[in-house]
Amino acid sequence: MSRISTEQVKHVANLARLAITEEEATRLTQQLDKIITYAEQLNEIDTENIEPTSHVLDLKNVLREDIAKPGLPNEQVLKNAPDHQDGQIKVPPIIE
Amino acid sequence: MSLFDHKVSDLHELLHKKEISVTDLVDTSFKRINEVEDQVQAFLTLDEERARAKAKALDEKIGQADKKGLLFGMPIGIKDNIVTKNLRTTCASKILDNFDPIYDATVMGKLHQAETVTIGKLNMDEFAMGSSTENSGFKETRNPWNLDRVPGGSSGGSAASVAAGEVLFSLGSDTGGSIRQPASFCGVVGMKPTYGLVSRFGLVAFASSLDQIGPVTRTVEDNAYLLEAIAGHDEMDSTSVNVQIPNYVGALNGDIKGLRIAVPKEYLGEGVDEVVRQSVFHALKELEKLGATWEEVSLPHSKYALATYYLLSSSEASANLSRFDGVRYGYRSPDAQNLLDMYKKTRAEGFGDEVKRRIMLGTFALSSGYYDAYYKKAQKVRTLIKKDFDDIFQKYDVIIGPTTPTPAFKIGENLADPMTMYVNDILTIPVNLAGVPGISVPCGFADGLPLGLQIIGKHFDESTVYKVAHAFEQSTDFHKQKPQL
């Protein structure tokens, strides 16, 4: 049985903000299905009472003093922006 | 003979006595690059003009009385996912083709303090996703020992440039084996430090709970010097740990009498080439002669490490790579009608296939309805994998096995099926999941291709890892051999 459908792949691509072609959707369905099937071997292990590890170090919240510091100069912020106008980053229309 | 056949400490002496200059060292780099770069293709960007100017400026300081650090004037290559101020940083991705950073990674600041000379930026798998450097969006780096073979990955440029003598040493990054595996394939020394030892500030994030920057060098001693220079707490990285950085080089005394070595049977099992297995047993004999003892042990959850790693690293990557949206930096698709269309087209055109595949896998594993079954499950298995290591380190000082199941494979050989490529990292991935340090040192050859021995230590016990690696290196001559280019 297939673990993931082409429809699901298209949905996930939309969530990931990736435009994909029909051909890519078909290929990714096969490849992801294979990887997910492989990953399902984890179900062999009983993890009922096991805590998840998000991080190997025993770190607590790391906080610093809330001190205002100068931000980046405008020209630095815009230096790598693909498009800008009047000191602001420009993007295509958001509301049509 | 190249100046780079000398150790850092010898070069330092020669500089101090004015027998050589920093300009000589930088010349050595660019001369070698001119000779072999067409074949090796390790670099994405060269910084020749500034490197030569810096060499000149440093040479003027040699006569001055103040004490020069050991790395003063040493030419270094930097993996292209480490952000370098005013020096193009691409992560080998088309999406960052024209990215010119406005700041330096913390490790770069430390190297500037140590007064090394940056020669250029090194090729890699796009966003460090891969095991062969074939996923680079720009070029194919080749193994200096055999140009039909891959250099390994993702830090393929870092390992190939050092093996080819184009730089004295380099920095790489390691998320699932990306320093150790290419070091093994290229016959050099590669260290993945304990998670939290080296600041990740300015390392373009792939999987934040696994990534670490580390040194690639010709010798263990040079590796220890370079790690000392880049390690240390950094307030810009909240996961960097505030520990005293030991004098690693001071630990290299060759004394491993009474050392207890664990050899996991899972690391010598199915899928590991016989020649690789034999090289590990030879190495263990060598270490026994030096007074160490070894026993076979089990890391029972090893077989689940690969699946755990791909779920966790891809999930983290899908979140980390959401920053590449065509708004603030990098590539933007020219023909988008609205904002959403721009995001989708920019990312579709800017990312390569492997990066897209992992973003898709990660987005799926984190998506509503699948989170518990995949992501959280993998986090729980990670706990068990880490516990395997904790248990072994109760009784043993280091864990030893091969770095990779096979020597370097042919270019193109593993591209068709993502799973066959992933299996390459099966012996290095558990180390990242557990967060412990691991090194690869040359331990033999198979048909002219280098093999690597992996030595794994306890959290923040790089000193012992280096001590063992050094004792082994000094009792063998694998590290003295060089590729014929």
In a 3-state reduction of DSSP, which class is residue B83?
coil
The string of pLDDT tens digits covering residues B178-234 is 999 999 999 999 999 999 999 999 999 999 999 999 999 999 999 999 999 999 999
The strand pairing partners of B240, in sequence order, are none
Tokens of B13: 């002496």
Higher-confidence residue: B414 or B473? Answer: B473
A50 pLDDT band, cuts 50/70/90, is: very high
Q: How many CB atoms lie within 10 A of CB B45?
A: 16
Task: Determine the distance in angstroms separating the CA of A57 from the nearest CA of chain B, rounded to an integer.
Answer: 8
Q: Which residue has the tokens 């100017």?
A: B53
Alpha carbon distances (Å) from B465 to A91, B174, B398, B471, B472: 51, 17, 7, 10, 11
Q: Which residues of B are less than 8 Å from A43 in CB distance?
A: 377
Give me the phi and psi of A42, to 5 degrees please.
Answer: -60, -25
What ranges make up the beta strands (E) of B168-247?
Answer: 169-174, 189-192, 212-217
For residue B154, give both structure tokens.
């993702």
Which DSSP category does B479 fall into? Answer: G
Distance from CA of A87 to the nearest CA of B (A): 13
Going by pLDDT thresholds of 50, 70 and 90, the confidence category of residue A2 is confident
pLDDT 10s digits, B327-356: 999 999 998 999 999 999 999 999 999 999
Active site residue B154: yes
Given B29, B132, B136, B154, the catalytic residue: B154
CB B465 within 8 A of CB B280: no
Element (H, E) at B209: none
Is the pLDDT reported for residue B27 higher than 70?
yes
CA distance A1 to B270: 28
Q: Which residue among the candidates B155, B170, B178, B314 is catalytic per the annotation?
A: B178
Instruction: Choose, out of B380, B417, B420, the residue to mutate when testing the contact with A (most A CBs < 10 Å).
Output: B380
pLDDT of residue A62: 85
Q: Which two tokens stand for residue B77?
A: 């290559």
Q: Find the CB nearest A41 among B307, B374, B418.
A: B307
Q: Convert the pLDDT of each residue in B285-309 to its tens digit.
A: 999 999 999 999 999 999 999 999 9
Residues with Cβ within 8 Å of residue B278, at least 6 apart in sequence: B444
Nearest-by-Cβ selection for B364 from A12, A50, A76: A12
Tens of pLDDT, residue by residue over B51-60, are 999 999 999 9
Distance CA B70, CA B393 (A): 33
Picking from A15, A51, A56 by the largest number of B CB atoms within 10 A of its own CB, the best residue to mutate is: A56
- Do residue B327 and residue A81 have CB atoms under 8 angstroms apart? yes
| DSSP tag of B204 | P
Model-level pTM?
Answer: 0.97
pLDDT for res B97 = 97
User: Chain B residues with CB inside 8 Å of A93's CB?
Assistant: 337-339
Distance between B200 CA and the closest CA of chain A, angstroms: 15
pLDDT in tens, B434-482: 999 999 999 999 999 999 999 999 999 999 999 999 999 999 999 999 9
pLDDT of residue A1: 55
Is the pLDDT reported for residue B433 higher than 90? yes
Determine whether the interchain pair B330/A82 forms a contact, defined as Cβ–Cβ distance below 8 Å.
yes
For residue A4, what are the CA distances in angstroms to A12, A20, B308, B316, B364?
10, 16, 19, 20, 10
- Range from A44-48, B2-6, B61-65, B402-406 carrying the lowest mean pLDDT: B61-65
CB-CB under 8 Å, B342 with A91: yes
- Number of H helices and E strands in chain B, helices first, is 15, 11
Annotation says B79 is catalytic: yes
Asked if B141 contacts B156 with a C-beta cutoff of 8 angstroms, the reply is: yes
* Partner-chain contact B332 A83, CB within 8 Å: yes
Establish whether B344 is a catalytic residue.
no
Please answer yes or no on whether B380 and A59 come within 8 Å at the CB atom: no
How high is the pLDDT of residue B105? 98
Tokens of B450: 């280098």
How far is the alpha carbon of A60 from chain B, nearest alpha carbon, in Å?
10
Cβ–Cβ gap A18/B304 under 8 Å = no
Shortest CA gap B404–chain A (Å): 21
What residues of chain A lie within 8 A of the CB of B320, using their CB?
Answer: none
The token pair at B457 is 């230590």
8 Å CB contact of A45 and B381 = yes
Active-site hit among B29, B54, B79, B279? B79
DSSP-assigned beta bridge partners for residue B75: B117
Minimal CA–CA distance to B408: which of B41, B155, B131?
B131
* Contact criterion met (CB < 8 Å) for B377 and A43: yes
Q: Report chain B residues whose CB lies below 8 A from the CB of A55.
A: 209, 239
Is B157:B77 a contact under the CB 8 Å cutoff?
Answer: yes
**Residue B424's pLDDT band (boundaries 50, 70, 90)?**
confident
Q: Check residue B65 and give its pLDDT.
A: 65
Cβ atoms of B306 and B425 closer than 8 Å:
yes
Contact A15 B356 (CB under 8 A): no
In 3D space, the residue among B373, B369, B344 whose CA is nearest the CA of residue B359 turns out to be: B344
Contacts A15 to B, Cβ<8 Å: 363, 367
pLDDT tens for residues B246-298?
999 999 999 999 999 999 999 998 889 999 999 999 999 999 999 999 999 99
* Residues in chain A within 8 Å Cβ distance of B86: none
Dump pLDDT digits (tens) for B81-140. 999 999 999 999 999 999 999 999 999 999 999 999 999 999 999 999 999 999 999 999
CB atoms B419 and A56 under 8 Å: no
ipTM score above 0.90? yes
Report the distance separating Cα A18 and Cα B343, nearest Å: 7
The lowest-confidence range among A41-45, B72-76, B411-415 is B411-415
Mean pLDDT, chain B, as a whole number? 96
Interface touch A96/B338, C-beta < 8 Å: yes
Instruction: Give the model confidence (pLDDT) of B353-377 as tens digits.
Output: 999 999 999 999 999 999 999 999 9
Instruction: Taking the CA atoms of A35, A37, A42 and A48 in sequence, report the sign of the dihedral they define.
Output: positive
Write out chain A residues lying below 8 Å of B330, CB-based.
80, 82
